[in-house]
Amino acid sequence: MKLFKSKRSTNAHPARNRKLFGIGLIGFTLLILGGFVLRFSFVATVGEVDSNNLAKQRQKQYRTDTVLQAQRGAILDRTGNVIAEDSNTYTIYAILDKQNKNGDKPDYVTDKAKTAKVLSRYLAISEDKILARLNPTKKHVFQVEFGTPGTKLSLAIKKQIDAEKLPGIHFRETPSRLYPNGVFASHVIGIAQAQDKGGGLTGVMGLEKQFNTVLAGDNGYRRSETDAYGYKLPNAKTKLKTPVNGGTVYTTLDSGLQSYLETLMTDVQTKYEPKALTAVLMNAKTGKILAASQRPTFDASTGEGLGDMWRDSLVEDNYEPGSVMKIVTLASAIQSGKYHPNEYYQSGSVKLDGGTVNDWRTGGWGSIPLSKAFPLSSNVGMVKIEQEMGAGVWKSYLDKFKFGQKTGITLPGETNGRISFAQPLDQAITSFGQGIEVNVMQMMQAISAVSNDGKMLKPQIVSKVVHKNGKETVYKPEVVGQPISKETAAQVIDAMRHVVNDEDGTGVAYKMPGVDLAVKTGTGQIASPQGGYLTGDSNYIFSVAGIAPASDPKYVLYITMKQPQKMTEPAETILASIFKPMMQRALDTTANGTVSKDTNTADVPAVTNAALTTAQDTVKKAGFDVATIGTGNKVVQQLPASGTKALRDSRVLLLTNGAMTMPDLTGWSKSDVLKFVQLTGKKFKLVGDGFVVRQSIAKGTLLGDASGTIEFKQQ
């Protein structure tokens, strides 16, 4: 009986369970549905999902943003000639995939032989090599490029190739910086390179870096709403932000003087192979730098040589200046009243606490007056003068001349320099330029006090900046101190005259007929990593500083040369091969930049971008000879640059948009050949001096990557 009742009770539960389950399911469904309703209500009301704004997401989905690239500002010389400006370069490539079409027309290379023949006229690569690239060994290659000769092509060359209408030939555009003068104060001007995916250019050296915020423009954009196929949506508005182009930097450089200096520097670098070479030409009354260069250097238009030296030696390298420092020692002694020119001293050597100082001439010159110490460049005499001043007075003048401090020139990376002054020996040797480290611009600043009646000028490389908003900042000559008087400056200049005019003076090699010249030479020792100083005839920093005309200074020229590896001539002879022609060229130019009437010079006309025949006629009518490089019909670059002065009947080189071919160089001077090397960016071995008598690459040969030899002989 109990068993029967238990069975009936068990059978009654399923119905009730089903009912409870149904109620629970309905409740759960209503709860989920309520959650969805609340969620949808929240999304509809607030317009956000997981903190993402739906309206903005929709805008992003249908919005198309196009960057409108701003132009980077230009860098100009003092008369407005372009040194650096914005440009685009192009890389050529060829599509080989036969499935690629443009509509119904094939968009691949259909005639490889014809394509190779045509492209060989515009690229520095042979027809055979182009054809080999168009027939790769690998199968299923979609496209090919043509190596270095197919990159960094100008717009002019691109247009010429486009005009040939070759199927499958395309170009990839790259924002770039155009440096039309090639090797031209390269470390001073610097370079700008692409630093981000957007292709924007950023200055990474020199003025390009120093004034990057001025030169860099502000990109704009065009924003519109389109569908998935790129069509503009109905009633959609287009938002436009106009780009703002970068500002302009005007330098103090004179293109004519700068180009000439580069030619002279390259000649010395090629012939004597110094480890370092610097030269700066400055206006003696304003501090404006008219020309400045260094070696090693690089071609800013191609980048060749950039890997060898990134530092601007003029401001970033410290060195012991040697005897040019005696200008400052003598000036300080005269100004302090501690200079006694008629007092005699025993030259040759002098013992000091900590060591012995020797004259460069073994045994010295016997007992001589202190007035002879400067023209003879006697170290012992300078020590005598320093001791009569006293270390305290001498150090005060080093401070007045601002050694150990940056000049503040508008170039990045300038060093402070360093003065060792703890011990009597340290104090003494600073009098002749050892134990003190300077940079080139610090020496230019110090010498300016002598050339400018005692008022010391800050070296100036920028004359004006025009900002993006049109506002101008003008950099005026800046007097940064007056360490000496006008009378002292005149006495120092007179002593510098003796260096070049006295028979036993150390600067006789720099004498220039008809030029009132004041000079001081220098031979600075180089510290050895093992301690002490290096030994050997060439292990010095040789230098010369000159002021002309001495009676009314207009120019200061300072040159340094470190460790010439092929010292086949005396250091003075080597430096004079730059100093004398450079100073003469400067003196032929008046202070305001015009050439004196008695010089046989003329303005180089502007023919870049002109048709070749027109350009040739224009150059000839201006009084110059003309040489053409390349097979094109349009001029893309010229040397000397337009607006500069050059001797009549001298050679003007024109680079065309066609394939770069070898001209007949027979009879060309070395300076003309150096311009040719600079313009083409090709490597040549130059043998001998004088004029070209032989070239290893025949006239008309395509200039590829191979280097050649050019031989010179005196006529």
Q: Residue 681's domain is classified under what CATH number? A: 3.30.10.20
The gap between the terminal CA atoms of the chain, to the nearest Å, is: 144
DSSP 8-state symbol, 244: B
Counting Cα atoms < 13 Å in the Cβ hemisphere of 714 gives: 1
pLDDT (0 to 100) of residue 51: 59
pLDDT (0 to 100) of residue 592: 47
Please name the residue that has the structure tokens 């401070």: 399
Q: Does the annotation count 669 as an active-site position?
A: no
Of 709, 684, 688, 594, which is closest to residue 645 (Cα–Cα)?
A: 594
Q: Are residues 77 and 115 in the same domain?
A: yes
Q: How far apart are CA 265 and CA 579, in angstroms?
A: 10
Q: Are residues 77 and 151 in the same domain?
A: yes
Q: Which of 176, 259, 293, 323 is catalytic?
A: 323
Q: Are residues 211 and 108 in the same domain?
A: yes
Give pLDDT < 70 ranges for the chain.
1-13, 39-67, 196-199, 224-236, 238, 590-601, 643-645, 681, 689-690, 705-706, 714-715
Residue 411: count of CB within 10 angstroms of its CB: 25
Structural domain includes residue 267? yes
Q: Are residues 458 and 382 in the same domain?
A: yes
CATH (domain of 92): 3.30.70.2110
Q: Are residues 565 and 488 in the same domain?
A: yes
Which residues pair with residue 638 across a beta bridge? 654
pLDDT (0 to 100) of residue 595: 43
Q: How far apart are CA 715 and CA 704, in angstroms?
A: 31
The three-point CA angle 536-540-546 to 5° equals 140
Q: Are residues 614 and 580 in the same domain?
A: no
pTM of this structure: 0.74
Q: Are residues 581 and 606 in the same domain?
A: no
The β-bridge relationship of strands 82-95 and 143-145 is antiparallel
Q: Are residues 503 and 405 in the same domain?
A: yes
Helix (H) or strand (E) holding 447: helix 440-451
CATH (domain of 531): 3.40.710.10
Contact 657, 636 (CB under 8 A): yes
Q: Work out how many domains the chain is built from and give that number.
A: 4
Structural domain includes residue 56? no
Of 166, 280, 352, which is closest to residue 559 (Cα–Cα)?
A: 280
Structural domain includes residue 595? no
pLDDT (0 to 100) of residue 560: 98
**371 alpha carbon, distance to own chain's centre:** 43
Range of the domain at 617: 601-713
Structural domain includes residue 280? yes
- The alpha carbon torsion through 149, 152, 156, 162 (nearest 10 deg) reads 70
Q: Are residues 439 and 519 in the same domain?
A: yes
The three-point CA angle 129-306-697 to 5° equals 40
Structural domain includes residue 55? no
Structural domain includes residue 36? yes
Q: Are residues 576 and 607 in the same domain?
A: no
Residue 12: count of CB within 10 angstroms of its CB: 8
The three-point CA angle 482-483-487 to 5° equals 85
The three-point CA angle 462-464-465 to 5° equals 105
Phi, psi at residue 177, to the nearest 5°? Answer: -115, 130
Contact 262, 254 (CB under 8 A): no
Structural domain includes residue 221? no
Q: How far apart are CA 573 and CA 577, in angstroms?
A: 6
Length of the chain: 715
Sheet strand arrangement including 220-225: 63-68, 220-225, 239-241
Residue 672: count of CB within 10 angstroms of its CB: 21
Q: Are residues 332 and 473 in the same domain?
A: yes
Contact 189, 215 (CB under 8 A): no
Q: Are residues 562 and 420 in the same domain?
A: yes
Domain endpoint, select from 185, 216, 247? 216
Domain endpoint, select from 528, 563, 587? 587
Structural domain includes residue 229? no
pLDDT (0 to 100) of residue 64: 62
Of 437, 432, 434, 435, which is closest to residue 347 (Cα–Cα)?
A: 432
